[in-house]
């Protein structure tokens, strides 16, 4: 499909998706409660291979929930720096197969030339942001991007968004297996939530939805139902997200890169508590 013009009024997340690969499936289980066992049907999240193909060249294969795949592809391309803006992605087409899905993207000649120069295998992306790197020399741990013009978000505003998150996690309520990434306004109103079995995928889907709707540059912040990894910080910084807040802990590398990049990073956002890891200068 051709991408909508940036002034589109389309609702995020309404792109045509392959209906042959639903996000959940039913399985038969035996449930044990104390000494009592019973047979029943449970709903589980689907985890499917998704290949991202740029101008006919396969770049990455990841395990993902097969929903919002156009948003996933565009969000990945933007947050990984494969394209510099949504105008460099001219077309997206999702193809469903018996063994998974392919997201075919047509990108500019400049982006494709750069992609071929840096191509690497990223198989198994849900588990690690560095899978497929051949040597330590390929590590990209010194961020060149910086967040600019994004004011910090107060903790009470962050917690307001988190309070609204569980009610928007429909897939996780059914399966207990999905992460969520949410977009909130500077006042803490939760506008959109994307879900996936992988936290990186959930963030890419969220950012891709906003890019498809021409709303990526609007003020706001991201909340995550996961830990805060270095990869989530890098993706956020690349797309000028000023604040990233997670329900669990950040890693040391996530904190280091957030501080270097000017991103406000929260962790342990639960109930009435939140920890700002970037408000103070490093110790020592």
Residues labelled as active-site residues? 128
User: Under a CB-based contact definition with an 8 Å cutoff, are residues 223 and 201 in contact?
Assistant: no
Q: Which residues pair with 67 in a beta bridge?
A: none
Q: How far apart are CA 122 and CA 210, in angstroms?
A: 24
CA angle 237, 51, 92 (to 5 degrees): 75
């Amino acid at each position: 499909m051709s991408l909508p013009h940036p002034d589109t009024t389309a609702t995020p997340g309404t792109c045509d998706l392959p209906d042959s690969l639903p996000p959940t499936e039913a399985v038969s289980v035996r449930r044990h409660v104390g000494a009592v066992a019973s047979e029943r049907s449970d709903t589980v999240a689907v985890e499917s291979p998704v290949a991202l193909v740029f101008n006919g060249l396969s770049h990455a294969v990841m395990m993902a929930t097969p929903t919002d795949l156009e948003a996933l592809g565009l969000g990945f391309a933007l947050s990984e720096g494969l394209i510099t803006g949504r105008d460099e992605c001219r077309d997206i087409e999702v193809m469903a197969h018996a063994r998974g899905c392919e997201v075919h993207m047509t990108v500019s000649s400049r982006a494709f030339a750069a992609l071929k120069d840096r191509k690497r295998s990223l198989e198994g992306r849900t588990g690690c942001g560095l899978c497929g790197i051949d040597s330590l020399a390929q590590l990209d741990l010194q961020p060149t991007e910086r967040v600019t013009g994004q004011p910090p978000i107060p903790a009470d505003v962050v917690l307001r968004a988190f309070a609204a998150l569980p009610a928007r996690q429909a897939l996780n309520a059914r399966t207990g297996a999905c992460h969520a990434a949410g977009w909130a306004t500077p006042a803490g109103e939760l506008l959109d939530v994307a879900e996936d079995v992988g936290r990186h995928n959930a963030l890419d889907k969220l950012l891709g939805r906003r890019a498809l709707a021409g709303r990526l540059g609007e003020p706001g912040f991201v909340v995550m139902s996961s830990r805060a990894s270095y990869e989530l910080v890098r993706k956020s910084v690349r797309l000028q997200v000023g604040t990233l807040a997670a329900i669990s802990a950040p890693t040391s590398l996530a904190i280091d890169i957030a501080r270097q990049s000017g991103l406000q990073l929260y962790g342990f956002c639960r109930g009435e508590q939140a920890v700002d890891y970037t408000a103070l200068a490093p110790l020592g």
